[in-house]
Every structure is written in structure tokens, then in C-alpha cells.
């Protein structure tokens, strides 16, 4: 890893002329601007940004009326099943969130505006940037990383409307994720509220977000090779908050973190286990499940389809998003704060520098799933729908230029000029121990009701039900949990077990663990959202004796406190995309 070649200059940007980015405004267009911005955190490098006129062709194509541009281009009532396009400035309202006490709050997260929007073209890759594991950073790299964040924070102080400043960058997540952007739909229908979570947009949006954030940091310190580290929470060596994020003198520090978890093993399961070794093995089981075992198709990992005008009930999160991703957010967020700030709520998550380190690992999970995991588990990892590939977002690049990007252009991280340091993947070969039927499972079968008789229900306690299989034996089947209706303003999580033989439900490293549903508090179009999840049972069956069973015992274990989740039903169906595996050991 390269050492920092030269001492960096002061983090104070120069006071040279800069373009006047407009203040956020919800229902106005903006006048021409021709000033230029020069900002430097080094002693010699300057950033220069020319701003031109609106490109009428972009306006006609729906590019000019995007997130930071002019107004009202998505007005056709028929535009209900199209790729998601960038939101419109005149539909940028206040983002909302709820406190832990249920009080609705509003916060302005709208970005500055620009008159020019260009289609972003990935620059040629002349040198591959390697994102390092956070636990392996050298002192020189930590210094450089800290200096880059210092520069971004100083830029915010000196030029608060510069889109590359610290809070402006944090507000990108707030605006896209907490209900700030809406689209008109058919008369009499509720407006379509953009949400980049809980669907197939989750990975692409955050990849682009980190891509430009990383390039902005490199620009501010004059080092185009700078790469964001990834928090390697899927490896026991990295299952702690990196020490340099805890130094209160560092720009990487954030005071709004759970004090009880600052030096604890990251608990991806939220089981309440007090045994650090058990937490580690739980974590490995969780990552193996969400990366390998539980997904029947690409949508199980990526998330369900989501188009402009989609009903939120049609979307749903992929396995990593609703699993380890959510757990890390809530593990770090401070429960003493009104809404679990900072990482514990979508509106404030980007205010903690650790957010970007966390999501760098989430992005790495996507890369590992795409290129390094066994292809015999999923028949096709590609999503070829144009509704997916042509979905687009707007970001400011490192030159403070507003650019439009598409999902299609971010599918290969190496074409974007970066890759990840190679680390051990202890979860990849992780196999929960095989299970044999016991008297406890048999007794539970005798007392548990049939699923058809108990749903819908509020999941505020452990629930055990019998669910009919499609056929006896180790069939290729999916467990479908239907109509999961959640209060989006709360942290909610439940685990799913099949034929669990143990009363200790703090252990997830066992054959019976089937998967997880969890969410970070946020604002959706409504206060509630309804979705369904499917969990692949093939690998689970291979670890237990189900040869003579025509039903299985399903256990739902809430990890949250109180109400907030309603389950509409549970059923087992045949896997519509069966896979013949070379090794059926699962």
C-alpha cells in the first residue's frame, strides 16, 4: 500500500471565486450562472468548474428536470412502468423521519441546483484503485483518509452550498431515502415517492454514491489514487469498529454512536448473545446464508423490481440489504438520540464517515456475489430488464459538475476503476452442522398450529407454526413469508428457523436458521410498507432429516421490541428456478 508521498497542506480551501450554487428551493427554476469554483486542500491543485446553459435536448429527454435542475418533466399519467429517472427539483420537499417516541420531524436535504446536466461517461482506467480492508490501513493511509474528510468538512464551512461539502454529501442519502422526492401519477392516485432502498436499486445507487464520494475526497487532497477502505465485518479480523474512527480528535469520529458497541464485536444477528465467540459464528452463518444459501434467483440477492410508479408492495429488499447491511446501521446508531442518529436512521446516516466505510463493504459483497461465488447455486445472476439497466440518478462529480448516471454503467466495478483488497472469506466454506430430528422437534410439531389458522398476526413474540411441504423428502422448495407489513419508521427485525431443535434462539450457526428480515428506520411513501420474502430451503434440507415429513415447523423470532410487524401468511412452494448442483451438501 502506497505511503503518503508528501505532507499535505492545510485543510482550509482557498477563498478564490466560486460558482453561486442556488440555495435549495422546492418550486422554482434558476437564473444563469457563470462564476467558477476554485477549492484546494493542497498547496497547488485547484478545481475549476465551468457552468453553462441548459441543454434543450437534455430537457426533452427528461435529463434537465432532474434532482438539481429545472422543473416538471415527468407529468404524463401513462409513465407508470418505466425505469426510475432522477427526481425533479419542483418535487423536492422536506425529508421526514420519526423520533423513537413517534414524533414526526422534517428536515431540509435538498441539494443545490445547476443548469447543466451531462450524461456521465466513465473515464479510461489508467490505474486500478484498490480499496483496502479497514483493519489493514497503515498510519500513512489513515492520515490521508483523515485529511480528506477534514478537507470535505472545511469545504462545507467555507462554501456551504458547494455540492461536494460534507453535509451536502450526507444529504444525498437523506434526500433519496427519506421521502423528499415524488412524481405525479394518475389523477386520484397517490404520488410516487422515490426510495432507493428495498429493491434492485439498492446496490447500484450506493455504488455510484460511493464512487463520486471517493473521487471527491481524492480531488480535495490532490490524490486521484485515493480509495475508500471497506469495513471488513464479514471477517472475524474486521468485526470491530476500526480504532481510528474512535479518536475524538479525528475527522473520522462521530459522537452519535452507541457507546456500548464502540469496542464490541459487530452483532449482525441482534440476538442478544453475551458470548463474543458465539456472535462471531452467528455472523459467519448470517453472511453465508444471505450470500449463498437463501437465494433462489438474482432478485433474492439484489432485491425485487422497482419502476417509476411502482406500488411499494411490489418491491422488496435483497438478502444483504435486509440482513447484515441493516444490522450494522442499527448496531452503530446511538439509541440515546431521538431517532437513533447517525447511522441508525437513513436521514442522518451519511453524517457518520463510518457509513461510507460500511457501504464500501456492502459494495464488495455485490462484487463477490457477481464474480466469486459458485454459479451452480443460482442459474443466472444477471438482470437484463431495461427497467433495471436504464434506471438513473444524478450526482455531482469531483469537479462539481452535475452528471446523470445509469445502473447499466455501474455493473462492473473494475470498469469504474476500482477493486478490493483480497481477504479471506471464512463464511464461504462455512457449513452449519447437520441436524437430526429430536424429541423437542417432534413435541413442537404436536402442539404447533397449522399456518393457515393463525395468520395474519402481529409479530410481537415468538411464533411457531406447521407449514405444508409441496412433497416429501428434500425437494427444491422456497419458504414464502407473505404480506410483511412494517412500520417504516422503526427498527424491525425477525429471524426464521425451520425444524428448530433448540430452545436457545440466540444461536444462528445451526441447520435450522433459514434467514432474516430487517429494516433501518426511514420514511417511505406511507408510514407502512408491505412486501414478501422468499427463502431457499434446498441447502437447509440437505442438513436435516426431512425424508418422511410432509410438513415443517417454522419459527419466527422477533429481535425488535414491541409491535411494528404484521405477517400475512406463510407457505412453501416449488422453486420456480431449480438448480442442479454438482455438490448437494449445501
Torsion, CA 207, CA 210, CA 215, CA 217, rounded to 10: -170
At a CB cut-off of 8 Å and minimum separation 6, what does 517 contact? 322, 481, 484, 492, 493, 494, 496, 533
3-class secondary-structure state, position 418: strand
Residue 159 annotated to the active site:
no
Catalytically annotated residue among 18, 329, 358, 560? 329
E-strand stretches of 47-162: 95-98, 104-107, 118-119, 129-131
Residue 30 assigned as binding residue: no
Residue 197 assigned as binding residue: yes
Catalytically annotated residue among 30, 159, 358, 359? 359
Catalytically annotated residue among 18, 159, 325, 560? 325
Catalytically annotated residue among 197, 358, 522, 560? 197
Give dist(CA 38, CA 220) in Å, integer. Answer: 11
Give dist(CA 116, CA 436) in Å, integer. Answer: 64
Catalytically annotated residue among 18, 30, 173, 358? 173
Kindly state the cell numbers that stand for 81: 412502468
Give dist(CA 415, CA 570) in Å, integer. Answer: 42
493 close to 331: Cβ distance less than 8 angstroms: no
Cell 428536470: give the residue. 65
Dihedral sign (CA 385, 74, 211, 358): negative
Give dist(CA 216, CA 397) in Å, integer. Answer: 7
Residue 159 assigned as binding residue: no
Give dist(CA 354, CA 234) in Å, integer. Answer: 16
Give dist(CA 28, CA 22) in Å, integer. Answer: 11
Catalytically annotated residue among 206, 358, 522, 560? 206
Q: Which of 541, 419, 533 is nearest to 469 (CA)?
A: 541
Residue 206 annotated to the active site:
yes
Q: Which residues pair with 558 in a beta bridge?
A: 494
Residue 253 assigned as binding residue: no
530 close to 312: Cβ distance less than 8 angstroms: yes
265 close to 239: Cβ distance less than 8 angstroms: yes
| Residue-wise DSSP of 184-195 | --STTSPPEEP-
Kindly state the cell numbers that stand for 537: 430451503
How many beta carbons lie within 10 A of that of residue 6, not counting itself? 9
Residue 560 annotated to the active site:
no
C-alpha R_g of the chain: 24
Kindly state the cell numbers that stand for 69: 435542475
Residue 358 assigned as binding residue: no
Catalytically annotated residue among 166, 212, 301, 346? 346
CA distances from 260 to 73, 281, 359 (A): 48, 20, 22
What angle (nearest 5°) sits at the alpha carbon of residue 564, between those of residues 560 and 570? 90
Residue 18 annotated to the active site:
no
Residue 197 annotated to the active site:
yes
Kindly state the cell numbers that stand for 270: 441482534
Active site residues: 173, 197, 206, 325, 329, 346, 359
Cite the annotated binding site for Cu cation by residue number.
173, 197, 206, 325, 329, 359
Cite the annotated binding site by residue number.
173, 197, 206, 325, 329, 359
Amino acid at each position: 500500500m502506497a505511503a503518503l508521498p508528501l505532507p499535505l497542506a492545510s485543510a482550509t480551501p482557498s477563498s478564490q471565486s466560486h460558482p453561486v450554487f442556488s440555495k435549495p428551493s422546492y418550486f422554482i427554476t434558476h437564473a444563469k450562472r457563470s462564476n467558477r469554483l476554485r477549492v484546494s486542500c493542497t498547496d497547488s491543485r485547484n478545481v475549476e468548474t465551468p457552468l453553462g446553459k441548459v441543454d434543450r435536448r437534455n430537457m426533452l429527454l427528461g435529463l434537465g428536470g432532474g434532482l438539481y435542475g429545472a422543473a416538471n418533466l415527468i407529468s404524463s399519467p401513462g409513465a407508470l412502468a418505466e425505469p426510475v429517472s432522477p427526481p425533479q427539483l419542483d418535487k423536492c420537499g422536506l425529508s421526514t423521519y420519526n423520533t423513537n417516541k413517534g414524533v414526526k420531524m422534517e428536515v431540509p436535504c435538498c441539494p443545490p441546483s445547476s443548469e447543466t446536466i451531462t450524461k456521465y461517461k466513465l473515464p479510461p482506467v489508467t490505474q486500478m484503485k484498490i480499496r483496502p480492508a479497514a483493519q489493514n490501513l497503515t498510519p500513512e493511509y489513515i492520515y490521508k483518509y483523515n485529511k480528506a474528510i477534514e478537507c470535505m468538512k472545511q469545504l462545507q464551512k467555507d462554501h456551504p452550498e458547494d455540492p461536494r461539502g460534507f453535509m451536502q454529501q450526507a444529504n444525498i442519502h437523506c434526500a433519496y431515502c427519506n421521502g423528499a422526492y415524488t412524481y405525479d401519477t394518475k389523477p386520484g392516485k397517490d404520488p410516487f415517492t422515490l426510495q432507493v432502498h428495498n429493491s434492485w436499486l439498492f446496490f447500484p445507487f450506493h455504488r455510484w454514491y460511493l464512487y463520486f464520494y471517493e473521487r471527491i475526497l481524492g480531488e480535495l487532497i490532490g490524490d486521484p489514487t485515493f480509495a475508500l477502505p471497506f469495513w471488513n465485518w464479514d471477517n472475524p479480523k474486521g468485526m470491530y469498529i476500526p480504532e481510528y474512527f474512535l479518536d475524538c480528535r479525528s475527522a473520522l469520529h462521530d459522537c452519535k454512536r452507541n457507546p456500548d458497541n464502540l469496542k464490541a464485536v459487530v452483532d449482525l444477528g441482534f440476538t442478544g448473545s453475551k458470548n463474543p465467540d458465539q456472535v462471531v459464528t452467528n455472523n459467519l452463518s448470517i453472511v453465508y446464508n444471505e450470500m449463498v444459501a437463501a437465494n433462489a434467483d438474482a432478485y433474492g440477492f439484489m432485491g425485487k423490481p422497482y419502476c417509476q410508479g411502482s406500488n411499494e408492495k411490489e418491491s422488496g429488499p435483497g438478502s444483504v440489504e435486509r440482513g447484515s447491511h441493516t444490522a450494522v446501521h442499527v448496531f452503530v446508531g446511538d439509541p440515546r438520540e431521538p431517532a437513533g442518529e447517525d447511522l441508525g436512521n437513513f436521514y442522518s446516516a451519511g453524517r457518520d464517515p463510518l457509513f461510507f466505510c460500511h457501504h464500501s463493504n456492502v459494495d464488495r459483497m455485490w462484487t463477490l456475489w457477481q464474480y466469486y461465488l459458485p454459479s451452480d447455486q443460482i442459474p443466472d445472476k444477471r438482470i437484463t430488464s431495461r427497467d433495471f439497466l436504464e434506471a438513473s440518478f444524478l450526482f455531482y462529480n469531483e469537479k462539481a459538475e452535475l452528471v446523470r448516471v445509469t445502473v447499466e454503467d455501474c455493473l462492473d466495478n473494475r470498469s469504474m476503476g476500482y477493486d478490493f483488497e483480497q481477504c479471506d472469506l471464512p463464511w464461504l466454506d462455512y457449513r452449519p452442522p447437520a441436524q437430526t430430528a429430536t424429541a423437542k422437534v417432534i413435541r413442537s410439531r404436536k402442539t404447533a398450529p397449522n399456518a393457515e389458522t393463525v395468520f395474519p398476526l402481529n409479530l410481537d413474540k415468538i411464533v411457531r407454526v406447521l407449514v405444508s411441504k409441496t412433497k416429501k423428502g428434500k425437494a427444491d422448495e422456497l419458504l414464502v413469508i407473505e404480506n410483511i407489513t412494517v412500520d417504516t419508521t422503526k427498527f424491525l427485525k425477525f429471524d426464521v428457523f425451520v425444524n428448530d431443535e433448540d430452545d436457545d434462539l440466540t444461536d444462528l450457526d445451526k441447520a435450522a436458521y433459514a434467514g432474516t428480515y430487517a429494516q433501518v428506520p426511514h420514511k417511505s411513501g406511507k408510514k407502512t410498507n408491505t412486501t414478501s420474502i422468499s427463502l431457499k430451503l434446498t441447502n437447509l434440507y440437505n442438513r436435516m432429516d426431512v425424508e418422511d415429513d410432509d410438513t415443517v415447523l417454522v419459527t419466527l423470532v422477533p429481535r425488535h421490541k414491541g409491535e411494528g410487524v404484521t405477517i400475512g401468511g406463510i407457505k412453501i412452494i416449488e422453486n420456480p428456478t431449480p438448480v442442479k448442483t454438482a455438490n448437494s451438501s449445501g
